[in-house]
Structure 1
């Protein structure tokens, strides 16, 4: 009987040891399309590149924080643009927009430091007001930023949805994409590559079940949804630092928990192995300029 108890306890212990790995495998299967290629690097080659990241709000950079930190460790230069101060993002109950803008500016600066950005360009265009400015005005702003910073690589949102449907996201992605496509190949236009953060189909499906932001804003017509990723970048090693970036945005914790559910409840070593990659689409001109 004693031997039977010892064997039974051993089996139970073995199952308990395996259970986190079963959870990880289950989570990966639920979150990732395994037919999408994985890349070790966003930017190929050893030559140092200047990467310009353009997003509308403080905290948008969380979606690519792992990739940015990896690029920095690989020796590339990271320049970040935030078009607004996020004064409409009142998820923490701070009604005064001036106070909230100041707070979110400080949070964005701390996040950029954690990522290791070489430069942070904070603009003051109206949060949730880029649509009123008009696409042409936004494109002119983007052109001027590119001319000022002279990047080799651009990163932004997609032009179809803007990740989950926020108009500022979509318009920013559209403006950057159109400027890139209209100007790539001209002698005075430095960017050679552009990438858009996106999600795979399984992530979208899960987000529509768990995320109120997706449920509210994501298009019902699947043909109008996010562009299919071309590849993913493995970012597991940078996930603990990505959590630090998330924590830097204290005023937006409710929103970020919606974006990355249960990240504050599941052990990091497990969560990092489930959310272990970031997805991108490469923007390519249909016809190269001569």
Structure 2
């Protein structure tokens, strides 16, 4: 991937970026610009605390997501939809076209198109559709159309959703440590996961990355599938390759 590309993560919720954080660290090290977009406010995210109202929960999650974005010196946008009740309409498609154009997106990471969470599924499909129209002037407001639609990689949703990884990005120990730190910036969600499962997302992601890394005989890796829809197909060089010696620390 040549220098200076705009890499944009478009996910449903604040914390969904955890499945590609190691890859984002490697892309940032290589000089690419990172941007984050969340489609919902995350207002239902403090699910086990009945004393927290939705606006307060959204504020907590916004602050947590901004802390992650700040770690990448990245811009963050939230499209403000209601958590748990996302559906695609004309306004969402317009908003996604606009934000991809505003970020000048070259490469997009988003959810796989099948998932346990309907917000994830709607986001994946809406992003895939919206990306096509970003280079067509009649779909783009304010004359900000892109030269070509952004290419798309889907992140691993977990087992059971028909996802078979085709692209692997190895992570060194430093990436793994930093990824764990970044995930735990979503402090509220770590508490939710400990309530649900007795361990947090950072522990689960570390286990998953080690499992995927074992498939290619490295300590850890993140996995992806390319979008195969016309004009949105990425190439293998869009992702970081083998670790350089100074990365594998």
TM range (shorter): 0.7 to 0.9
Partner residue of 2:81 out of 108, 125, 138: 125
CA contact (8 A) 1:55 1:169 kept: yes
Alpha-carbon shift at residue 265 of structure 1 (Å): 7.3
What is the correspondence of 1:82-93 to structure 2 with a 5 Å cutoff? 82-93=38-49
Partner of 1:230: 166
What is the correspondence of 1:1-290 to structure 2 with a 5 Å cutoff? 44=1, 46-93=2-49, 94-114=51-71, 116-131=72-87, 134-161=88-115, 165-180=116-131, 182-183=132-133, 186=136, 188-189=145-146, 190-198=148-156, 204=159, 225-237=161-173, 238-256=175-193, 273-274=210-211, 276-286=220-230
Gap runs ≥5 in structure 1: 1-43, 206-224
Tell me the number of residue pairs that the alignment of Structure 1 and Structure 2 aligns. 213
Distance 1:145 1:77, change over 3 A: same
Runs of 4+ displaced beyond 4 Å? 184-187, 254-266, 270-275
Alpha-carbon shift at residue 245 of structure 1 (Å): 1.4
Greater gyration radius: 1
Report which of the two has the higher share of helix.
1
Distance 1:140 1:262, change over 3 A: closer
RMSD over aligned CA atoms reads: 3.0
CA contact (8 A) 1:91 1:254 kept: no
- Give the Cα–Cα distance (whole angstroms) in 2 for the partners of residues 280 and 103 of structure 1: 29
Gap runs ≥5 in structure 2: 138-144, 213-219, 233-249
CA contact (8 A) 2:41 2:80 kept: yes
CA contact (8 A) 1:92 1:254 kept: no
What TM-score does the superposition give when structure 2 sets the normalisation length? Answer: 0.74
What TM-score does the superposition give when structure 1 sets the normalisation length? Answer: 0.64
Task: Answer with 186-195 or 232-241: which moved more.
Answer: 186-195
Any idea what SS the aligned residue of 1:138 has? helix
